Chain A
Amino acid sequence: MKKNTNFSKILTKSHENKWVALSSNRDKVLASSDSLVQLKKKVGTTNAVYMKVLPKDISFAF
């Protein structure tokens, strides 16, 4: 399965600093939350890939 790598199309300002649950090919945001525990509850048993979204206005040195 080809995975989406274009997160700039699916992640918006509203997702910054939040956990998001992505569809298994990463082309859709299924749900988001400040808390990973809460997000997992929202998503339930659906297959999801979890990601913490960085804010857009900061440069990072990881």
Chain B
Amino acid sequence: MAWKEYSYSNEWSGDHIMYRPIIGLELSHNEEHFSCIGLIDSGCDTTLINAEIADALRIDISKCKKVKVSGIADKGIDSFTSTVNIKVEGFKDFLEMDVIFVPDMRFGALLGQKDFFEKFKVKFEKKNKKFYLFQE
């Protein structure tokens, strides 16, 4: 196995271009599948996914454990946990990951420390606008 190379994606942010380590994901839960992009975010304790995606995966939130998620300035958003299978762009296999579904998230998915960073080695080279993943 070798390191897999990816390019940072760019989007406008204010009057400049912001480069972010964004990667394609395929999520699966039971028979449902959903393709989206996720941001690799070492500052997240756990992988956070927009709660609208839980609907798309037909996850019964009444059966999920409730948790609060807090960012830099809020007091905690009522959210819920679940287990989802995630296939990361460039890799063949789905990996089971514990995730938190968060209502009203600004982004689709943030790949955080628990599970994502435990399952992949991650190397950022922002200067070259490249990042790399390695799975043992």
Contacts and interface: CB of A to CB of B under 8 A. Distances in A.
Contacts, number: 79
B36 interface: yes
A51 B52 contact: no
Interface residues of B, number: 32
A8 B34 CA distance: 24
Chain A contact-residue range equals 20 to 34
Contacts of B14: 56-57, 59
A51 B13 contact: no
B24 A3 contact: yes
A52 B22 CA distance: 12
B99 interface: no
Contact of B52 (A35, A58, A61): A35
Interface of B: 7-14, 17, 22, 24, 34-37, 39, 41, 43-44, 50, 52-53, 55-56, 71-72, 89, 105-108, 110
Interface of A: 3, 5-8, 11, 17, 19, 24, 26, 35-37, 40, 47-62
Given A3-B24, A50-B35, 5 more contacts: A7-B9, A8-B10, A17-B106, A40-B56, A49-B37
